[in-house]
Amino acid sequence: MKQIHKPQLVPLKSVDKLTTLVENRTIYSLDNFELNIFETHQQSENVRLKFNSFVLTSMFRGKKVMHLFDKKGFEYLPGESVIVPANEEMVIDFPEADFSNPTQCMALAIKSEQIKETVNLLNEKYAKIEEHEPWKIDESTFHLKNSSEVTNTIDRLVKLSTETNSAKDLFANFMINELLIRLMQTQARVLIVDNYRKYVNVNRFSFVIQYIKEHITEKLSIEKLCDLACMSKPNFFRQFKRELGITPLDYINQERIKIAKELLSETKNDISDAGFKAGFGSTNYFFIIFKKYVGITPGKFKELCLLTGEKGLIGFS
């Protein structure tokens, strides 16, 4: 189960300041982007919205059903983002919105020059290891679970945009570059990690991911992973983190935590056994890593699973 990173909540408008109950819009204009905060306080359908520039949207509260690219509508929830090309119409339903459960999202309209400058910089100075795969915003991978890095960058950008800091345009430009880079890293993870079998013969990191998944419960050698990628250890770590936004060790630990959580949710497995079966070499290390990624101890997680009868536990995924 993928980890969902929810953003800091942006304060809602008071009722007397709402100009409409459906997609009430607050705009913050800066040099290279326009930040729009939308709120909806009543159920609605077929609400249409279009921007004349590339837009990164991100949900803060509630639920929408988004219709995009003439595709079947999909649920759009907090902790997720959707990228929308210029002049592409969004058609949105709000099946649950009311005053007790409003929806709130942002739409960040970014100037094309800013995007082009960031992408060119990456390709010129920090090229991907596979020459046939340049950095780009992939519009086909448009619905994403936010990483903690994307969420944190969005939080800081929203906070900065609402301030009166005289230098905020300068700071914001750095943050936009960071957000675009982290967005491309997130897309690369979706492409390479979630679809590794499709690219295993053309992308060395897909080949490494396949090996990790096939041997995840065994002792994994970093030297072996470097050999599979035909790269030196320093270059392997640097390129893996640069392209996927995560270190190889973090990726391995996250995959093992997924297995451990499934094992812990089954009453027949005790905590130490779950750790060893998931590939952790010691119980102490398992406890440390589990608390780091899940936020609670393995014992507390198992206790909650027994109380609720649920696997995965929303909020601890």
Amino acid at position 21, single letter? L
Binning pLDDT at 50, 70 and 90, where does residue 305 land? confident
Cβ burial, residue 202 (10 Å; 0-12/13-18/19+): exposed
d(CA 279, CA 235) in angstroms, rounded, equals 26
d(CA 188, CA 186) in angstroms, rounded, equals 5
Element (H, E) at 37: strand 33-40
d(CA 141, CA 143) in angstroms, rounded, equals 6
Instruction: Name the percent of the chain lying above pLDDT 70.
Output: 94
Instruction: Check residue 119 and report its DSSP letter.
Output: H
pLDDT at 262: 92
First CA to last CA distance, the chain: 6
d(CA 115, CA 64) in angstroms, rounded, equals 27
Instruction: Check residue 270 and report its DSSP letter.
Output: -
Residue 117 pLDDT greater than 60, yes or no: yes
For residue range 63-79, list pLDDT tens digits in order: 999 999 888 899 999 99
d(CA 138, CA 25) in angstroms, rounded, equals 27
pLDDT at 133: 87
Least confident of 18-22, 59-63, 311-315: 311-315
d(CA 238, CA 254) in angstroms, rounded, equals 19
For residue range 246-293, list pLDDT tens digits in order: 999 999 999 999 999 999 988 777 899 999 999 998 999 999 999 998
For residue range 75-110, list pLDDT tens digits in order: 999 999 999 999 999 999 999 999 999 999 999 999
Cβ neighbour number for residue 71 with a 10 Å cutoff: 10
The pair of structure tokens assigned to 260 is: 């451990």
